[in-house]
Amino acid sequence: MIGLITRRFFQLILLLFGISFLVFMSMHMAPGDPATIIGGPNATSSDLEAIREEMGLNRPVLVQYFDYLGNILQGDFGYSYQTNQAVTEAIITRFPTTVKLAAASMIVAVIIGVVAGIISARKQNSWIDVTSTTFALVGVSIPNFWLGAMLILIFAVNLQVLPVGGLSSPVYTIEGMKELILPAITLGTASAALIARMTRSSMLEVIRSDYIRTARAKGVRKRPLIWVHALKNALIPVVTIIGINFGTLLGGTIITEQVFAINGIGRLMIDAIAARDFPIVQGTVLLVAAIFVVVNLVVDIIYALIDPRISYD
């Protein structure tokens, strides 16, 4: 297990090098010049030249990259072109909001998805199953922004039971919970649908397996049969889906954060891309990449906990 974690840690570092290079290059190749944004509409060409000179933007790209890399290794991710705020600080202030949103969505998705999947599999081809699989299909098909807009329209504008947007109150307050409901459903629906489908098919396969028949031959009652004998086996592929989804959720809150006016990493990233704020874009992309790797590591560790046949030693 420790070997696995060490291995993954070195993989992560290599991966981050690669990603930092790709992001750096693609940002510099993209049209748009940060100097014009910093200088504003009235800047003269000599002003712009001065800005480029000051920020080192007119040096060769590779020199700029290695410069950046050197700074990263010292923990310096640069400063925002727009606000002059340190990138690390910008991320640290926004990250908890995104984690809160992603975690809430994941909890919604896992509870709904796993329970719906199990019920569907238990009552295969019944009306419950048909309803649940239909919802799952609709759920993966609905675009986030549309679902978010519709939820706002129904619950915030017409019924006026939940707030339109924002995510600033602490979670443990009623206000904070209310703020979280709509964005969490918006972001979690697709994952819930995916998890439900995966749980259903995995469960159906397990229910037909020899060891479930053995358990029944011993007289094991229905409940322990499903929740002890079958579920643990059926969860192995589901954990993969949950892991991949959690990474996507953390990195993919962009649209939901836009729709609900939530100041998280997603909004930080999209605003930075629009403003050619290179340091912020690079910092947030590196963060998302690191999260993906860490989540995958956690998934691998959970595998070993669920399935005794998997060992990393």
Partner 1 sequence: MSRLLNVDNLETKFRTADGHLPAVRKISFSVDKEETLCIVGESGCGKSITSLSIMGLLPSNGEITGGSIRLDDENLIGKSEEEMEQLRGNALSMIFQEPMTALNPVLTIGYQLREPLTIHKNMSKKEATKASIELLDKVGIPDSKEKLDQYPHELSGGMRQRVMIAMALACEPSLLVADEPTTALDVTIQAQILDLIHELQSDIGMGVIFVTHDMGVVADIADRVMVMYAGEVVEVADVESIFENPQHPYTKGLLESVPDVDDVSQELQVIKGSMPGLNDEISGCRFHLRCPFATEVCKHKEPPSFEVTPTHYSKCWLQEVNQSGQPDTIT
By CB under 8 A, name the binding residues for partner 1.
208-222, 228-229, 232-233, 306-309
Q: Which is nearer to partner 1, 137 or 310 (CB)?
A: 310
Q: Which is nearer to partner 1, 7 or 216 (CB)?
A: 216
86: which strand partners?
79
Q: Please give the C-alpha separations between residue 39 and each of 33, 49, 114, 115, 244, in angstroms, as whole numbers.
A: 10, 10, 53, 55, 41
Q: Which is nearer to partner 1, 206 or 262 (CB)?
A: 206
**Cβ neighbour number for residue 72 with a 10 Å cutoff:** 18
How many Å apart are CA 95 and CA 265, to the nearest integer? 6
Whether residue 72 contacts residue 20, with contact meaning beta carbons closer than 8 Å, is answered with yes
Q: Which is nearer to partner 1, 103 or 306 (CB)?
A: 306
Q: How far is the CB of 192 from partner 1 (least distance, A)?
A: 25
Rounded to the nearest 10°, the torsion over CA 116, 251, 299, 136 is 20
Rounded to the nearest 10°, the torsion over CA 187, 190, 191, 195 is 160
How many Å apart are CA 176 and CA 163, to the nearest integer? 10
Q: How far is the CB of 218 from partner 1 (least distance, A)?
A: 4
Rounded to the nearest 10°, the torsion over CA 165, 171, 175, 181 is 50
Q: Which is nearer to partner 1, 141 or 309 (CB)?
A: 309
Q: How far is the CB of 207 from partner 1 (least distance, A)?
A: 9
Q: How far is the CB of 309 from partner 1 (least distance, A)?
A: 5
DSSP 82-96: TT--BHHHHHHHHHH
Q: How far is the CB of 60 from partner 1 (least distance, A)?
A: 57
Q: How far is the CB of 128 from partner 1 (least distance, A)?
A: 16
Helices (H), the chain: 2-29, 34-39, 45-55, 61-73, 87-122, 127-141, 144-151, 174-207, 210-217, 222-224, 231-251, 254-259, 265-274, 278-306
Q: How far is the CB of 126 from partner 1 (least distance, A)?
A: 12
Q: Which is nearer to partner 1, 62 or 228 (CB)?
A: 228
Phi-psi region of 56 (alpha: psi -120 to 50; beta: other; left: phi over 0): left
Q: Which is nearer to partner 1, 32 or 224 (CB)?
A: 224
Q: How many residues in the chain? A: 313
Q: Which is nearer to partner 1, 60 or 308 (CB)?
A: 308
Q: How far is the CB of 240 from partner 1 (least distance, A)?
A: 16
